[in-house]
Structure 1
Amino acid sequence: MIEIKVPELAESITEGTVASWLKQPGDHVEKGEAIVELETDKVNIEVPSDESGTLEEQLAGEGDTVQVGQVIARLSSGSAGGTAVATKTKTEAAAEAAPAPAETKTEEVGEAKKVERREEHVASPGKGPIATPAARKLARERGIDLSAVQTNDPIGRINVHDVSNHNATPAPKPEAPKAPAAAPQPVASGKDEERIKMTRRRQTIASRLVEVQQTAAMLTTFNEIDMTAVMALRKRRQEKFIKDNDVKLGFMSFFTKAAVAALKRMPYLNAEIQGNEIVLKKYYDIGIAVSAPDGLVVPVVREADRKNFGEIEKDIIHLADKARNNKLGLSDLTGGTFTITNGGVFGSLLSTPILNGPQVAILGMHTIQLRPIAIDAETIENRPMMYVALSYDHRIVDGREAVTFLKHIKDMIEDPEQLLFEA
């Protein structure tokens, strides 16, 4: 029998939730084929089988929380059956060649071993029938007495399907003493409502955002950027950029390069607090917030300081596609040093982004909007303007550093040629 266990998920993740079973009892499973999908705090992981065989039982139901190393399914090995047949053939051949008395003795010993094996798996008096953990859980939920459940298992073991197919009415429970009247429940409004259980990832996002607001001294500073120069540069270079890189030149690569340059000048924004120490990161792994079907995720562009515009744009597109198709791995999401989020793609004019802990700063981009701007004392022009926001942890980042950082971003985007020398 092959055991399927919850694999190591990540250093900080010790449990997950069974999202869905991809194989059902009785299904054949090839080596390397996924059996179950687990949902963790960050990503969904498909658990493959290390061997070929038939799925015999599921030891956890969909929605159950499972720990790393826990056995969640068992498979019968296909090769094991072939070995048994071969062994039996040899035994039978030896028995046929032996004298009759010896043959009778062999049969008696074989029968004794069969009885002994059956006795090993039959529950002792007073201990109740044998059942899988998942079957016991389902029986408790439905109020079913396991001793009344019929099974076709050769050793008398009850599995989930036996319990599911049991139509007996729940055994009556003894009447408990009347408890004090419970507090009245809210009266339904009478309007259409729908209750949706939060996914594990959504619960994690919610708890971590609240945790950040409770533990960090978060503050936000704002500025606005004239996007005229960047938009003109993109228009001039777009055709050649696409030809050279097979991707479009977007705004994210400009802001990523500008952020790296500004972080080099203001290293405390590329840091982390650990106990009573400040850890200054000398590398630049920039997280790019992406809206995925199950919630916001922040995949990381590694070593952004060493990549050109084309490489950054390709990384962002690749990670965004993986996020939307639920294919991100844990390595795609861990270890970021600074985050950029672009609410402008949804039309946001202004916002105060929440820190992506344990990072101490996050840059928020917003929609580009034509606004009248005073060019000098006598001239006003309509310019494409973007509000930008920097939320930061005031415990280690002072206002002067935050404002200066955002000013560096503004200067480099308004004069993008600086990026050739700065980053």
Structure 2
Amino acid sequence: MTELPVVVVGAGPVGLAAAAELRERGVDVLVFERGPRAGAAVAEWNHVRLFSRWAELIAPAARRVLDRTGWTAPADDGYPTGQDWVRDYLTPLAAALGDSVRYDTEVVGLARRGRDRLVDAGRDSEPLSVHVQRTDGSEDRILARAVIDASGTWGGPNPLGGEGLPALGERGCAAVTYRVPDVDSAEQAARFGAAHTVIAGGGHSALGAIVALAQLAQRQPGARLTWVLRRGSADSTFGGGDADELPARGALGLRAKQVVDDGLLEVVTGFRTAAIESGASGRVTLVADDGRRIDDVDNVVALTGFRPELGWLSEVRLELDPVLQAPVRLAPLIDPNVHSCGTVYPHGVAELTHPEPGVYLVGMKSYGRAPTFLAMTGYEQVRSIAAELVGDHESAARVELTLPETGVCGGAGVFDDPDSESSGGCCGPAPEVLTLTAPAVGR
């Protein structure tokens, strides 16, 4: 099978980094991207500024590939938007990888050649069978020695409903969106400007939306903002502040806290949405499972996290944690119900191996439903896997990454009871608000 290619699913930052690592090691690689371009998912949040610097967003192997093309690297200390990341890095990287990257091609199934999930014989000797479908309707089957699934979770936003299922009335509700609004666009500024908007969620995307919508509200009087949290308190949502090792991430939390302290929005905690009821003039009412109601809502921005799409992997044998839907060896390192801070230990092929030989979930997909993924974590994952695939076990086992430790705290379970929140380390008392010159950042 060594003559067969390694298939990478997804031409986003981690998928292209995997291709660069494999190319450097002389391995044939095919990257299948269902979108029309590299970074198609990133392009959907092109207006959002990242809290990682350029230095942390460019994979080492990708940088080496690009340097050979005469590419001009962005300044290490800049903070790009999604648009910048695609234009200045992902697009030229995909071009440098050439026809190894195939667009408008969706992987719709993965199996072992000639065998379904129940058959034991041949699972370590037969190649993997990758079923693809192109936008022109044609289908194909590609044999591969290994498959690296870097398809991410962007296409699977969690619902607003507090039970992990859509709230009653949520499906098809025009008032609900699952993306950070681009308030610089005329269309979205008109939609959110003079309206009552509910922001649901306690992660970086929600904080970014709060900051952006508060700025819009100050420009367009008449807007009303409500922040809905399932957890019992908002205090620890703001992260590490000026002690954060990712300064822009800390700045985002501080700016969101400033919005709250300035009274620019109402905060509703312990609210688990059970239903959305339609009202007059297209407005809706959110109803919690305890009976509380938020009336006269024009827009709901549901930013409650993401979940992996596992349907096309149903014929291969994965070993996933029953809670996070992440690889079982990785799950204890990232479980937000256990770890109250955003600390993630560097990890590689050992934590990402499944019972199905040659199948790896990487990047955001590997985190399942856990939040706070950093791009450089994914770059280390694929470096380790690429080393393993060529038999360099020593390099595969070696950790070549140091991650920042501070950041947004804990998970849904930890914060049901505000008295249970951590009071030390990066999750200590909410930081004092400072006057900031850092950019409005999110994600």
TM-score if structure 1 supplies the norm length? 0.19
Q: Is the strand fraction higher in 1 or 2?
A: 1
Larger radius of gyration: 1
